[in-house]
Amino acid sequence: MARKADYSNTQKYSNRKSFDGSPVPEGKVLVPFLKEKFGLQKKDYIQDNFTTMHLGEFSFEIGFMAISEDHYASYMKDFWDELNKDMEMRREGVASSERTLMVQISFALTPDAARVARTRDFWNATIRSVWKSCLSITNMKVKPLTSKIPRSRP
């Protein structure tokens, strides 16, 4: 008989520390996240605050971040759904970068307003590293296109 998931214990990870060492504000709780999915820079986190979770033949490096206690149950459901999809793709031999991209695309295409609200805190936790990546891309020198196209001579 399959186990039924119970996401009512919002204090399950209260013995953990947040990935960056910041204290957990009032009304928020710690939840796990997959380190590989967020491209964190070494200066943005404390390695000792991460743990390795072993599920079957797979290992996952897990960090913890604070989100609103109201969003705990729905976040945990999404977290485990994502983890199960990741394991399924690993079994099929899909590369890590492809798995990350697939998860990000499927997440972005979900028009659920509640999902957007409950993950706002999560994205705010990683926005600095994403912003820095965007800045490095936009600072590249690009040759502007000209409106005149040279004609070929016969």
pLDDT in tens, 12-25: 899 999 999 999 99
* Confidence band of 87 (pLDDT split at 50, 70, 90): confident
The answer, as to whether pTM is greater than 0.85, is no
Picking from 10-19, 22-31, 79-88, 145-154, which range would have the lowest pLDDT averaged per residue?
145-154
Token pair of 18, please?
């947040």
